Structure 1
């Protein structure tokens, strides 16, 4: 009878092999995991751009100031010598008493918009967008900026909009609205 020698792995060799494999997999996933997180950034940036563009269009569709003539008149606010009312003081920017987003009528009504949190993300019909833009937030500031271009200070308003994505990257938008 012929006896053949069996070959196999000892328990010690098996434990060492599993340990080496575990260390190798841990190192590989530690190196690749930041890439997985960053792989969603372009998608979030596109979503933030959509949201920012939509909100900025909504803001720019409003008139320059509360005192602006919305019926197409020739006077603009701050033309006091011609009988026009003064433009709103920058300290008074923000929604007027009783105004909601649906009734905002000038760009400075949006000043401070977004400070309430992500629940304010709605479309222009006030339909909630919280599911579509979960963990996104928006912040709007408005200020006079005519002096930036050598004009009378209250002839231009700068609207600054910052959209923050779920990965905490911020995308800034800005536009000017003129008192023409």
Structure 2
């Protein structure tokens, strides 16, 4: 008489299967946990980018004239010597408040970064974010005869830091024909 062999798993095979599946599940859960922990970083970077873009737009939208925009000669002055009052220089005037009336008001006279803690509406930036603006003369821009003189170009750098990360945007503003309001 022939005996039929029973089919199934032994206890050892079952224990090995459970161990292998457990190791795989733990590895997958660790990957999911790491991705979840890092998922906030893109949101923080996007917030920093929005702050930097808003501040850069504010700076670039200001006038860029030889004279303070309140000066009666501001619209037609082709040099600082033609201003009726003090020519515009880097750094804000004492009584000037945001939004400033000239691009150069957003920077410091020595070219150092200026810290801003609020947006244009006066709302504080979210906790953990710090913004700086640096405005300096750009130097001569462009090739050959199409060159923009150093006095007619400003380099604007906006840096927003959050934690150990930062976002930096850079732009240039030029003065043209004869002034730009």
Classify the TM-score, shorter chain.
Answer: 0.5 to 0.7
Give the equivalent residue in structure 1 for 2:78: 76
In the TM superposition, 1:135-146 aligns within 5 A as 135-146=128-139
In structure 2, the gaps of 5 or more residues are 1-21, 108-112, 177-181
Give the equivalent residue in structure 1 for 2:13: none
Cα distance between partner residues in 2 of 1:84 and 1:95: 17
Residue 149 (structure 2) aligned to one of 128, 147, 152: 152
Cα distance between partner residues in 2 of 1:101 and 1:113: 13
Cα distance between partner residues in 2 of 1:77 and 1:36: 57
> Whose Rg is larger?
2
In the TM superposition, 1:54-133 aligns within 5 A as 54-65=54-65, 67=67, 73-78=75-80, 80=81, 83-84=82-83, 88-89=88-89, 93-102=90-99, 104-111=100-107, 112-114=113-115, 120-121=117-118, 123-126=119-122, 128-130=123-125, 133=126
In structure 1, the gaps of 5 or more residues are 1-20
Higher relative contact order (CA 8 A, sep 6+): 2
Structure-2 change in CA distance of 1:158 and 1:87 (3 Å): farther
Cα distance between partner residues in 1 of 2:154 and 2:87: 11
Higher helix share: 1
1:174 aligns with 2:170: yes
Structure-2 change in CA distance of 1:69 and 1:169 (3 Å): same
- Per-residue CA shift, 1:107-152, capped at 9, x if unaligned? 121114316xxxx22x3232x234xx21111010001114143431
Taking structure 2 as the reference length, the TM-score comes to 0.62
Taking structure 1 as the reference length, the TM-score comes to 0.62
